[in-house]
Amino acid sequence: MTRYASLAVTACLAAVAGLAFQRVFGFGPVAPVAAVAAVVPTVLCALLSGPRGKPWPLWISVVLTVVAWAATVTLTVLRPALGDGTLPRTLREGVLGSWKTILTTLLPAPAEPELLVLVSLVVWLAAFASAELALRTALRAVPCVPSLAAWAVALLLGVDGPGSNVPLAAATVVLIAMLVMLRADVSASGMAWRPLVVGVPAAAVLGGLAFASGPVVPVGAEPYNPREQVRAPPPQQRDSVSPLDRVGGWLLSPDQVMFTVQSRRSEIERLAVLDRFDGVTWSSTARFVPTGRRVPEGPKPEREHQVGQRITIRDLPGVWVPAADRPRQVDGLPVVVDPASGALAAAQPLRPGQAYRVDSVVPEWTADDLADAAVATDAEARAARELPWGPGAKEPPVQIAEFRRFAQAATRGAVSPIQKAAMLAQYLKRYARYDVTAPPGHSYRQLDYFLGEGRRGTPEHFATAYALLARTAGLPSRVVVGFDGGNRVGDTVQVRSGDVMVWPEVKFDGLGWIRFNPMPDSARRSKNNDSVAAGETEQKLEEAQKNAASQQRGQGPGNTPQKKAQKTALSEEGSPMPWWVFASIGVAVLLIGYVLAVLLAPALRRRRRRTGTPAARVTGAWHQALDDLADVGLSSVRTLTAHEVAQFGASSVGTDAHGHLRPLADLVNRSRFAASGPAPDAADLAWRHTDELGRLVTAKAGRLRRLRRRLHPRSLRDRRDVTSRGG
């Protein structure tokens, strides 16, 4: 009976370890796979264990479980591959290559059969090994080791995934405790119900404590992330034509419906992020990685709002997937994502009719946020300040110096990066006209013409000119192509080619990339009358930028707002925790530690007392009996003989207790004072008497009184220390 109960627990342990893969795939796909992979090998091992507890040879068990796994995984996880004839390849990919795919995929990974094979394999192995260990060894806790190994695999693969495994970890704690208690006496024929009755609630409390305390345990360092050791796939040319090159054409035929958006709120849809300029063209350095649906978070703004959009592709070409910045989750379309920028691309070129839902979190910046922002200095920002000479150029283009002078003139008087960036945008707004017929192109020469003679251009010109001017002024910049506005038809906004927008972004430390609008206001007015108004977010951002710039203009360096901002930042990031928090945590830790100690110490003592030589076990039985009698008032045995203690037990507990105490006293006297030591069966007999006495004392004293005594500090003291002083 104990064997089968142990097998049930090992199966549960393996299943819970399998559920820990939920951070990789989510609960839905993992649950049935883990359940099947945990139960089937356990049942198989139970059947092979034989009715008398003598299992078959291990090699037979191994062969059968391999066959069983192959059959089970074929009929369950790989059933789709069974039909199209790709079973061998999928199985091989699943066993050998799925871990690589998972590590190079943003979690949650898609629940593809070849990936779920790994879950099935790991859980199956864990369940099989646990069951075999439970059947073939007498060690209590060893059968949980394979499941812990499966846990380790799940943790490593899911370290970057969404969700939490804390409840599963708590469940594992409880199950391990149950397993240890169940296997406390494997030689016994029947189930050890008593330790279970006491231990399972205690284990549940432990699990609850683990569940409650797990999230608040301070973490000294980020967990090891194997993804950092995995080489990401090389960047791929996603589209032969840069979206920036399409802008001119789209603006000239503005009525082409690119896609429709169903959303309660109008937002700018970002299409492509172009961060590298080679002197002639802007391109993307995005390192796209596959994702199931999740997009990693970007910088965390103080204020943000969530937007849910359902987008249906109409005539939008290429692979770039429009979405409000910054997307968090994409459903309905297989996409790859650039973790740095959050830009989305489809695995295959978009087709009309494709629809997907994208949930985004749009940051909201205020003047206070921007006022004291410093320019970012990280590697990405350094790359975004580069001004290449151009393909094949031997010397820097002369336009760069002119651009620098232009930027200096535009930003004269600016004392902060945000002021410089805002002044540059305002300057361009006033400096040039919006003209969709302007010749496209954004090389140094073409932008020189735009800034020098032409002074008219499309968003392509304004944005790229701003980006280059910003770089000459020391601001890290990039160019983003997207869509702004559209025609509302019922609940749906039709985004047309004429709504295309290009804007520059500047990276600030702690804030990330901030959009600027160097376009003249006439650009909006030139759109059709049925265009939806510019997004509220965009308006707020422009207003904030203006306010931030005006704040800076009136104050010099070292002004009060800066100090205020520094103070705010300090209070938010580095403010010392109040002393009472530390004190409370300390008291709570002490209390929990004390309760655990007073509850565990007697149990550990009892366990220790049951081990050793027969004499030591008899001694342990006597000490345990004295501990039990303490519950009915036995205070000190310093001057009492064993039979006097037995007399006390008879008077306190009853004659039944004397029936156990008297022979126990004889045994312990013999063990201590006779010339020859006791035999092993004498030790067993002593413990039987002690166990019976414990039950009688429990019945007499009541559990409440015993618990009260257990919580007393003297529970921590070993009676042996006391008695040894006396004798």
Partner 1 sequence: MTENGSMDAEALVARFAQMFAALAGNVERVVRGKREKVELALVCLLAEGHLLVEDVPGVGKTTLARAMSASVDAKWTRIQFTPDLLPSDITGVSIFNQGTSAFEFHPGPIFANIAVADEINRGSPKTQSALLEVMEERRVSVEGAPHPVPRPFMVIATQNPVDMDGTYPLPEAQLDRFLMRISMGYPDHQAEVALLAGAPTGATLDQMPPVMAREDLARMIDFAQRLHVAPPLFDYLVRVVAATREHPDLRLGASPRASIALLRAARVRAAAAGRSYIVPEDVKALAVPVIAHRLIVTPEAELRGRTGADVVGEALRNVPTPQAAGV
Among 96, 188, 197, 674, the residue binding partner 1 under the rule CB under 8 A is: 674
- Out of 639, 655, 681, 721, which residue is the one contacting partner 1 (CB under 8 A)? 639
Asked whether 372 and 431 are in contact (CB, 8 A), the reply is no
What span, in angstroms and rounded, lies between the C-alpha atoms of 627 and 603? 11
726: contact with partner 1 by CB under 8 A: yes
Closest-CA residue to 416 (of 563, 301, 548)? 548
x/- mask, partner 1, residues 28-57, rule CB under 8 A, reads ------------------------------
Cβ nearer to partner 1, comparing 122 with 682: 682
Q: Which of 237, 571, 655, 724 is in the footprint of partner 1 by CB under 8 A?
A: 724
Amino acid at 698: T
CB 21, CB 157: distance < 8 Å: yes
- Indicate the residue among 187 and 676 with the shorter CB distance to partner 1: 676
CA distance 559 to 552: 9
User: Helix (H, G, I), strand (E, B), or coil: what is residue 335?
Assistant: strand
Q: How far is the CB of 689 from partner 1 (least distance, A)?
A: 13
Interface region with partner 1, contact rule CB under 8 A, candidates 539-547, 590-598, 668-676, 696-704: 668-676
Strand partners, 502: 481
647 near partner 1 (CB under 8 A): no
675 binds partner 1 (CB under 8 A): yes
- Burial profile 415-430: b = 16 or more Cβ within 10 angstroms, e = fewer: ebbbbbbbbbbbbbbe
Q: Does 643 bind partner 1 (CB under 8 A)?
A: yes
* Other residues' Cβ atoms within 10 Å of the Cβ of residue 62: 12
Q: For partner 1, which is the closer residue by CB, 537 or 624? A: 624
If we measure between CA atoms, which residue out of 157, 67, 175, 34 comes closest to residue 107?
Answer: 157
Please answer whether residues 123 and 76 qualify as being in contact, where contact means their C-beta atoms are separated by less than 8 angstroms: no
- Count how many residues are written for the chain: 727
> In this chain, which stretch among 52-60, 259-267, 268-276, 669-677 interacts with partner 1, using CB under 8 A?
669-677
Q: Which is nearer to partner 1, 504 or 694 (CB)?
A: 694
**8 Å CB contact between 162 and 107:** yes
- Binding test (CB under 8 A) with partner 1, winner from 48, 367, 438, 637: 637
564 makes contact with partner 1 (CB under 8 A): no
CA dist., res. 10 & res. 6, Å (int): 6
Q: Residue 295's closest CA among 266, 243, 333? A: 333
Q: How far is the CB of 679 from partner 1 (least distance, A)?
A: 10
Among residues 325 and 627, whose Cβ is nearest to partner 1?
A: 627
At its nearest, how many Å lie between partner 1 and the CB of residue 720?
8
**576 exposure class (CB count in 10 Å sphere: 0-12, 13-18, 19+):** exposed
671 binds partner 1 (CB under 8 A): yes
Handedness of CA 586, 591, 596, 597 (dihedral sign): positive
Alpha carbons 424 and 504: distance in angstroms, whole number: 11
Among 79, 100, 382, 638, binds partner 1 (CB under 8 A): 638
- Residues 601-630, interacting with partner 1 (CB under 8 A): 615-616, 618-620, 622-623, 626
Verify binding: residue 650, partner 1, rule CB under 8 A: no
Please state the closest distance from residue 637 (CB atom) to partner 1, in A.
Answer: 7
Count of chain residues binding partner 1 (CB under 8 A): 32
Sites of contact with partner 1 (CB under 8 A): 615-616, 618-620, 622-623, 626, 637-644, 665, 668-676, 720, 723-727
